Amino acid sequence: MNIILLGYMGCGKTFYARKLSTIINLPFIDFDTLIEQREKKSINKIFHENGESYFREIENNNLSQLLNQNNNFIFATGGGTPCFFNNLDLLNELGLTIYLKKKPKKLYNFLIKNNYNRPIFNSFKTIEDFFNNFNYREKFYLKSKVIIDCDNSSNIQILTKINNHYNENRFKK
Ligand code: S3P
């Protein structure tokens, strides 16, 4: 069974997926890295040279291709992945989707300091743009199979929760 971590930019999808892969010994796929390798350019460059709609097309194409692969990996999506086309359905088909839920204010404070390679965050002109985007996207994230509230938990507690959900679900059809 695959574990799919999703949530807004800066919620720690890649961080927790990488850590978890060493704990439970499953391969880790970071979707942005996979796209960068296939396109042979950075996410920023793809957005600048080809535009967001091109990025969303390749996101959707690559996701469909992953469905044909063998199971058993940990997958960190991009923040926008579940919110375009039929991606959320594809993700729910691909495995155990887990929304890493964090308060938007916390995410904003993190992103202000760590916005490198995040063209969508950099495109916001006001803090309202950020909150509107978060509110729109959260409706998709909330359709994940599992929701983990990360606000008052340490990294170890969050990893333990993900691992517990994995163990509960791994033998289910
Ligand atoms: C995006 C988030 C990024 C990356 C791309 C678009 C988004 O991933 O996929 O810049 O639309 O939220 P992270 O969530 O890992 O920053």
pLDDT at 116 over 90: no
| Cβ–Cβ < 8 Å for 14, 28 | no
Torsion of CA 23, 64, 56, 151, to 10 degrees: -30
- Give the distance (Å) from ligand 1 centre to CA of residue 111: 11
Which atom of ligand 1 is the closest one to the Cα of 47? 10
pTM: 0.97
- Give the E-state strand segments of 9-94 in sequence order: 28-30, 74-76
Residue nearest to atom 8 of ligand 1 (CA): 78
pLDDT digits (tens, 9 = 90+) for 12-71: 999 999 999 999 999 999 999 999 999 999 999 999 999 999 999 999 999 999 988 878
Pocket test for ligand 1, best of 63, 118, 137 (most atoms within 8 A of CB): 118
- Give the distance (Å) from ligand 1 centre to CA of residue 41: 15
For residue 12 and ligand 1, the question of a CB distance below 6 A is answered with no
Pocket test for ligand 1, best of 32, 87, 108 (most atoms within 8 A of CB): 32
User: Tokens 């969050």 — which residue?
Assistant: 158
In sequence order, what are the residues at sequence separation of 6 or more whose Cβ sits closer than 8 angstroms to the Cβ of residue 48?
119
User: What integer is the mean pLDDT of 115-137?
Assistant: 95
Domain 2-164 has what CATH class?
alpha beta
Map out the domains of the chain as residue ranges.
2-164
Query: Where residue 172 falls among pLDDT bands split at 50, 70, 90?
Result: confident
